[in-house]
Structure 1
Amino acid sequence: MNETRATNPVFPPGRYGHRRTPGARRRIVPIVFGVLVLVASVLLTVQLYGRYGQTDYQSRIVGWSKDSDTRLTVEFEVRVPAGGTATCVLRARSYDGAEVGRREVRVANPGAEGPITAREDVPTRARASHGDVVRCRASS
């Protein structure tokens, strides 16, 4: 039985130039690219968390009341640092979950300790079933 073995070709020295070892440079490029993508992702995450992450302006729904087909009253609490002002976005939603009204309100903390309770009307386009606070952030 004749066996054939695959071998690499042998070239005369100096005739075809310098031969590189296979894969040495090819492995470095993806590694460098992966490290750059990882660093950029971390920097972007830190920047976005600083802008939209956990804030001192935490809110909680206390309740809501359906006054009419064109208005919903939302009662909520918001924790605002002493002497600060928060801008909160309130939303009214219909029974099927569609947004039927939205309003932006300002809540000021004159220096009292604890959460501030506010009661605000949200104008609606149709009858609303419930209301909620979308977000609260520092007023500019």
Structure 2
Amino acid sequence: MTETHATLPPGAPAFPPGRYGRRREPGRRRPLLAALLAIAVVAGLSLVTVRLYRQYGDPNYDAQVITYTGITDSQVLVDFRVTVPEGGSAVCLLRARNRDGAEVAREEVTVTAPPGQRQVTAQHRLVTSARPFIGEVVRCRPPA
């Protein structure tokens, strides 16, 4: 059927017959497709969450930088505190970055807690390839 001014509701645009192809009737919605897409998105986000938790989120190996001092053109002294399982040890990744954010030093340090304690305070000197701006603990993990 062609559209004429008599068959169109008021305010609807009138298209010349045959000019723009066949007009589609309003179709039914596809809830199955939307549900499958939602499930796929949730599954993907869950995988990313698990991976990031394994990489950064183990609460048994929590590290905090207390201070970084002794900044010269070739070093920075990083004081940090690590929470480990009672009497355990951890391997912590320390790094120094320059003012532009580029990494100028990276080193893994093993820290061991005294028997009966969960927290250990450590100090480490990072030798850098350029003048550092900040010293930080990237993460701590159980020793291999």
- Calculate the TM-score normalised by the size of structure 2: 0.67
Runs of 4+ in 1 over 6 A off after TM superposition: none
CA contact (8 A) 1:76 1:119 kept: yes
Q: CA deviation at 1:77?
A: 0.8
What is the distance in 2 between the residues matched to 1:32 and 1:127?
53
> Is it true that 1:44 corresponds to 2:52 in the alignment?
no
Cα drift, residue 41 of structure 1:
2.8
2:82 matches 1:78: yes
Identity of aligned residues (%): 37
Distance 2:136 2:94 in 1: 6
Tell me the residue number matched to 2:91.
Answer: 87
Which residue of structure 2 aligns with residue 34 of structure 1? 37
Aligned partner of 1:91: which letter?
A: R
How far off its partner does 1:91 sit? 1.2
RMSD between superposed Cα atoms in Å: 2.8
Separation in 2 of the partners of 1:98 and 1:43?
Answer: 31
SS at match of 2:60: coil
1:1-140 equivalences under 5 Å are: 5=7, 23=27, 27-41=30-44, 43-45=46-48, 47-52=50-55, 53-66=57-70, 68-140=72-144
The one-letter code sitting in structure 2 at the alignment partner of 1:60 is Q
The 3 A distance-change label for structure 1 pair 42 and 131 is closer
Unaligned runs of 5+ in 1: 7-21
Given that residues 87 and 118 in structure 2 are in contact (C-alpha distance below 8 angstroms), is that contact kept between their aligned partners in structure 1? no
Could you tell me which runs of 5 or more consecutive residues in structure 2 were left unpaired when the two chains were aligned: 9-25
Whole-angstrom distance in 2 between the partners of 1:35 and 1:68: 53
Residues 134 and 39 (structure 1), Cα distance of their counterparts in 2 relative to 1, 3 Å cut: closer
